[in-house]
Chains A and B, each alone.
Chain A
Amino acid sequence: MDQHDPEADGIPIHWARSYDLGTQLLLFGRSRKFRQKLLDLALLKSGEGFLDVGCGPGRLVLAACHRVGPLGIACGADISPQMIKLARRKAVKSCPAAEFVQAPGQSLPFDTGYFDAVATVFVVHHLRGDHEKVRAFEEMRRVTRKKGRVLIVDFKAGGARDRSHVTWPTATSTATPTC
Chain B
Amino acid sequence: MADGDINRYPYLLKEAGFGEVDTGELMMGMVRFVRAYAD
Q: Which residues of A contact B (CB under 8 A)?
A: 34, 37-38, 41-42, 124-130, 133-134, 137-138, 140-141, 144-161
Contacts and interface: CB of A to CB of B under 8 A. Distances in A.
Contacts of A149: 35-38
A156 B29 contact: yes
The 10 closest A-B pairs by CB, nearest first: A125-B4, A158-B2, A137-B16, A158-B4, A144-B38, A138-B16, A154-B6, A160-B3, A152-B34, A150-B36
A129 B16 CA distance: 14
Contacts of B32: 153-156
A154 B4 contact: yes
B31 A156 contact: yes
26 contacts: A37-B26, A41-B33, A125-B6, A127-B3, A130-B8, A130-B15, A134-B16, A137-B36, A140-B16, A141-B18, A147-B38, A148-B38, A149-B35, A150-B13, A153-B26, A153-B32, A154-B9, A155-B6, A155-B30, A155-B31, A156-B6, A157-B2, A159-B2, A159-B4, A160-B4, A161-B1
A150 B5 CA distance: 18
Contact of B15 (A34, A134, A155, A159): A134
Contacts of B35: 41-42, 149-152
Contacts of B3: 125, 127-129, 158-160
B21 to A, nearest CB: 9
B12 A134 contact: yes
A147 B26 CA distance: 24
Given A141-B38, A144-B38, A158 B5 contact: yes
Contacts of A155: 4, 6, 30-32
A173 to B, nearest CB: 20
A131 to B, nearest CB: 10
A147 B37 contact: yes
A126 B4 CA distance: 7
Contacts of A128: 3
Contact of A152 (B17, B27, B36, B39): B36
B18 A161 contact: no
